[in-house]
């Protein structure tokens, strides 16, 4: 993982992606925007109660960082599902489809995933010129959003063996307390999933979401993937976190942007 700072917008980058000249990518932090208060400052989520004007300006700044027009930064209406859309052209934000993954072969389109504890995963097949991105919360990860995104890239003629993936900041195991019944949803599918849980107290466990997404990539036969291993819940000044914010008694929270684009 490397960090860079240009035009007062610091970003986190995956080392393996940073060396690919055909793509631009970034895991944006919460810094470098115009939002205030609990959304301070680079909140990129229209789904928050932040000012629409602030979110639009934040997304414009992120687009500039990625080298695309603000209208070419696309994101979906995320629903913790497994649907993936193939993008041919950008859409108006009011027309965003309900999905949790995106793929495209078109240059100068940035695929943007919004998270505040869930896992953003970026994909690239530099040989075929195809990119993807998905929002992998626990439910989507368990039900197959990672595999669905990879399969959608294959439908565009990507070769699975050429796909690279990068896992962005997400809530880490030490910050992710869950109930016993939560684990049952995983072990009911595969008893081996129990290794992603550690005991916390008599009625709670700690879940390793990032590690579980790594397993999904491994099972999908993605041979090259990287996890930046940053706990957004613990990084108060650097990243947004739903859990941290709600535990502090606040009713809403900012959304961080992770995005990837093919260069022309």
In sequence order, what DSSP letters do the residues of 44-96 get, joined into one string?
A: --TTSSS-HHHHHHHHHHHHHHHTS-GGGEE--B--SS--EEE-SS---GGG-
Residue 5 pLDDT greater than 60, yes or no: no
> 182 lies in a domain?
no
Arithmetic mean of pLDDT, 153-161: 98
Residue 35 lies in a domain: yes
Would you say residue 199 lies in a domain? no
Indicate the pTM of the whole model.
0.97
- Is the pLDDT assigned to residue 3 strictly greater than 60? no
For the chain, the domain total comes to 1
- What pLDDT does 7 receive? 62
Residue 239 domain-assigned (yes or no): yes
Burial of 252 from C-beta contacts in 10 A (0-12 / 13-18 / 19+): middle
Is the confidence at residue 167, as pLDDT, over 90? Answer: yes
Q: What does the pLDDT look like over 75-119, one tens digit per residue?
A: 999 999 999 999 999 999 999 999 999 999 999 999 999 999 999
What CATH number should be reported for the domain holding residue 113?
3.60.140.10
For 248, the domain range is 2-169+224-262
- Residue 45 falls inside a structural domain: yes
Output the pLDDT for position 140.
Answer: 98
Q: In the predicted model, what is the mean pLDDT of residues 191-206?
A: 97
Long-range contacts of 13-17 (CB under 8 A, 24+ apart): 14/122, 14/166, 14/168, 14/226, 14/228, 15/226, 16/164, 16/166, 16/224, 16/226, 17/122, 17/124, 17/164, 17/166, 17/226, 17/260
Task: Measure the CA dihedral 242/243/247/248, to 10°.
Answer: -40
pLDDT band, very low/low/confident/very high, at 2 (cuts 50, 70, 90): very low
181 lies in a domain? no
Condensed to tens digits (0 to 9), the pLDDT of residues 215-247 reads: 999 999 999 999 999 999 999 999 999 999 999
DSSP per-residue codes, 172-194: -GGG-EEEHHHHHHHHTT-GGGG
In a domain, 161, yes or no: yes
Contact 44, 255 (CB under 8 A): yes
211 — phi, psi (to 5°)?
-65, -35
- Percent residues over pLDDT 70 in the chain: 97
254, 193 in Cβ contact below 8 A? no
Q: What is the DSSP secondary structure assignment for residue 170, as one 8-state letter?
A: B
For residue 185, is it within any domain? Answer: no
CA separation, residue 55 to residues 22, 35, 171, 238 (Å): 28, 7, 23, 18
For 210, other C-beta atoms within 10 Å of its C-beta total: 24
The helix (run of H) or strand (run of E) holding residue 259 is strand 256-262
pLDDT of res. 8: 78
Distance, CA of 86 to CA of 48 (rounded, Å): 25
């Amino acid at each position: 993982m490397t960090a860079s700072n240009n035009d007062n917008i610091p970003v986190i980058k995956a080392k393996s992606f940073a060396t690919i000249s055909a793509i631009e990518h970034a895991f944006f932090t919460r810094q470098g925007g115009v939002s205030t208060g609990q959304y301070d400052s680079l909140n990129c989520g229209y789904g928050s109660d932040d000012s629409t004007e602030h979110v639009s300006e934040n997304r414009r700044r992120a687009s500039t960082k990625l080298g695309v027009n603000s209208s070419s930064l696309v994101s979906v209406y995320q629903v913790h599902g497994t649907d993936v859309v193939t993008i041919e052209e950008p859409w108006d934000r009011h027309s965003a489809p309900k999905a949790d993954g995106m793929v495209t072969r078109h240059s100068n389109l940035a695929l943007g995933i919004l998270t505040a504890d869930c896992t953003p995963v970026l994909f690239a097949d530099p040989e075929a010129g195809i990119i993807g991105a998905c929002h992998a919360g626990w439910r989507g990860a368990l039900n197959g959003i990672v595999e669905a995104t990879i399969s959608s890239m294959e439908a565009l003629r990507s070769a699975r063996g050429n796909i690279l993936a990068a896992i962005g900041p997400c809530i880490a195991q030490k910050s992710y307390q869950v109930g016993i019944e939560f684990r049952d949803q995983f072990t009911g599918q595969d008893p081996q999933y129990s290794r992603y849980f550690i005991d916390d107290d008599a009625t709670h466990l700690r879940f390793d979401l990032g590690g579980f997404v790594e397993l999904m990539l491994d099972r999908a036969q993605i041979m090259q993937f990287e996890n930046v291993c940053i706990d957004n819940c613990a990084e108060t000044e650097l990243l947004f976190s739903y859990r941290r914010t709600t535990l502090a008694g606040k009713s809403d929270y900012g959304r961080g942007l992770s995005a990837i684009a093919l260069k022309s």
